[in-house]
């Protein structure tokens, strides 16, 4: 990287001001209490769908832009390029426009129409690859070709965010829980795409010396769970996750296994059935990974009940369901993919009747 000129330095300062001013205009996200059938256990959903770009990737994109700007990696006029399964690209397209830079998203061809439309609406360009494992090299190549910067969320997510606090998602959750009957959660339940959110929350729990445990739910075909169980980082499945935003074909560099207390595999049909179940109970449409999170949270609630333990569980509403009307909310789309929700909907009904979610065997 060449040294920053005085002109570039002034441009960087203005870009940082715009990103900070945007944060200053934004409000914190809500923490909804969701009534569940397990007495003594309270479940909360941190609603990350209410960010200006509709998902928890708004926080990540802001952090990545500030990190890259302060490092001198983003220069006036140079395009920002990202490898993404969609949501990060939507949020980065927003910040690229805010600071006045071109944006290119390198994404799997399977990315939802709704997300592509959003990226283009923010002025971004979409570049497609067939295999989900091809996004990394292709994004690097595109950045070199156009003299741009490859943002590389999968490497930098865990370090671009200040895990000690600075109003990160973990600090916000603990502040919002302060007046609840169980203010310190027994469990926080999340899922992993970059792994950045679980790294931030897990480190914060340890740094603040909370007894709270962290569970990460993983969808079908994802490398994270095997990598965590075997304590290795070279697991490669090569398969695309059907739950957008989470589950990866390789263990991403931002996945910090050492801060995770437990992991759970959640079948895709269970995630989607629980997504619909949650939307009905909450009165707002949630996305697929929120279904994964809530299935895992109800599993944890059932285990707590069996152990005679009271307490609270906090999980994330990662994005809204409007982005998935032509996929997870479309019965024909599910049927084409052989996804049968009925057995999982029945288990959820049994949960409502008994307060115990039948476990997967
Ligand atoms: C990225 C993402 C996640 C996971 O967050 P990470 O911090 O990247 O691990 C969950 N749900 C959705 C919809 C996402 O886009």
CATH number listed for the domain at residues 57-157: 3.40.50.1100
Cα of 302 from ligand 1 centre, angstroms = 25
- Residue 121 CB neighbour total at 10 angstroms: 12
Neighbours of 99 (CB within 10 A): 20
Pocket test for ligand 1, best of 46, 48, 50, 57 (most atoms within 8 A of CB): 57
Which region among 105-114, 122-131, 182-191, 331-340 has the lowest average model confidence (pLDDT)? Answer: 105-114
Helix runs in the chain, H state only: 6-25, 57-70, 87-99, 113-121, 135-146, 153-160, 169-176, 196-207, 224-230, 268-282, 288-306, 331-336, 342-354
CB distance 240 to ligand 1 below 6 Å? no
Nearest-angstrom CA–CA distance, 147 and 145: 6
Q: What is the pTM of this model?
A: 0.96
Q: What angle do CA 252, 254, 258 make, to 5 degrees?
A: 100
Q: What are the domain boundaries of the chain?
A: 22-52+164-354, 57-157
* 22-52+164-354 and 57-157 in the same fold: yes
Please report the DSSP string for 233-269 in residue order.
S--B--PPPSSTTS--SB--TT--GGG-SEEEEE-HH
| Helix/strand/coil for 129 | strand
Answer yes or no: is the C-beta of 87 below 6 A from any ligand 1 atom: yes
The greatest distance separating any two alpha carbons of the chain, rounded to the nearest whole angstrom, comes to 67
Q: Is the pLDDT of residue 56 over 80?
A: yes
Fold adopted by 22-52+164-354: Rossmann fold (3.40.50)
- Per-residue pLDDT tens over the stretch 95-145: 999 999 999 999 989 888 888 999 999 999 999 999 888 999 999 999 999
Cβ atoms of 184 and 177 within 8 Å: the answer is yes
Q: N- to C-terminal Cα distance for the chain?
A: 53
Is residue 248 over pLDDT 70? Answer: yes
Q: Whose CA is nearest to atom 12 of ligand 1?
A: 245
* pLDDT given for residue 339 in this prediction: 97
Report how far ligand 1's centroid is from the alpha carbon of 128 (Å). Answer: 20
Residue 338: how many other CB atoms lie within 10 Å: 7
Residue 84 alpha carbon to ligand 1 centre in Å:
11
Please indicate whether residue 80 or residue 131 has the higher confidence score (pLDDT).
Answer: 80
pLDDT category of residue 167 using cuts at 50, 70 and 90: confident
Per the listing, tokens 């949960």 go with 351
Distance CA 288, CA 293 (A): 9
Q: What are phi and psi of 265, to 5 degrees?
A: -85, 130
**Is 92 in a helix, a strand, or coil?**
helix
Of 24-38, 106-120, 251-265, 283-297, minimum mean pLDDT range:
106-120
pLDDT at 53 over 90: yes
Which among 273, 277, 295 has a CA at the least distance from the CA of 339?
273
């Amino acid at each position: 990287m060449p040294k920053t000129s005085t002109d570039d330095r002034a441009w960087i300062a203005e870009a940082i001001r715009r990103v900070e001013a945007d944060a200053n205009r934004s409000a914190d996200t809500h923490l909804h209490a969701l009534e569940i059938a397990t007495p003594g256990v309270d479940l909360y959903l941190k609603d990350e769908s209410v960010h200006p770009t509709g998902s928890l990737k708004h926080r990540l994109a802001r952090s990545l832009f500030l990190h890259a700007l302060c490092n001198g990696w983003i220069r006036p006029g140079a395009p920002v390029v990202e490898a993404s399964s969609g949501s990060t690209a939507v949020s980065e397209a927003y910040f690229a426009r805010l600071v006045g830079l071109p944006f290119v998203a390198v994404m799997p061809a399977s990315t939802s129409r709704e997300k592509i439309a959003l990226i283009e609406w923010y002025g971004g360009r979409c570049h497609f690859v067939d295999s989900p494992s091809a996004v990394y090299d292709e994004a690097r190549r595109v950045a070199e070709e156009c003299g741009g910067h490859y943002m590389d969320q999968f490497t930098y997510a865990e370090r671009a965010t200040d895990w000690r606090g600075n109003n990160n998602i973990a600090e916000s959750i603990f502040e919002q829980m302060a007046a609840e009957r169980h203010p310190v959660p027994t469990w926080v339940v999340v899922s992993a795409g970059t792994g950045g959110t679980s790294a931030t929350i897990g480190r914060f729990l340890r740094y603040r010396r909370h007894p709270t445990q962290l569970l990460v739910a993983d969808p079908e075909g994802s490398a994270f769970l095997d990598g965590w169980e075997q304590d290795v980082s070279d697991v490669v499945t090569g398969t695309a996750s059907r739950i957008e935003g989470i589950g990866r074909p390789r263990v991403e560099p931002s996945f910090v296994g050492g801060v995770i207390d437990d992991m759970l595999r959640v079948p895709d049909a269970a995630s989607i059935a629980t997504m619909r179940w949650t939307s009905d109970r909450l009165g707002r449409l949630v996305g697929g990974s929120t279904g994964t999170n809530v299935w895992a949270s109800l599993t944890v609630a059932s285990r707590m009940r069996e152990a005679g333990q009271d307490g609270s569980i906090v999980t994330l509403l990662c994005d809204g369901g409007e982005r998935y009307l032509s996929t997870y909310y479309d019965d024909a789309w599910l049927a084409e993919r052989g996804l049968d929700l009925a057995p999982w909907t029945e288990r959820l009904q049994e949960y409502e009747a008994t307060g115990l979610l039948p476990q997967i065997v």
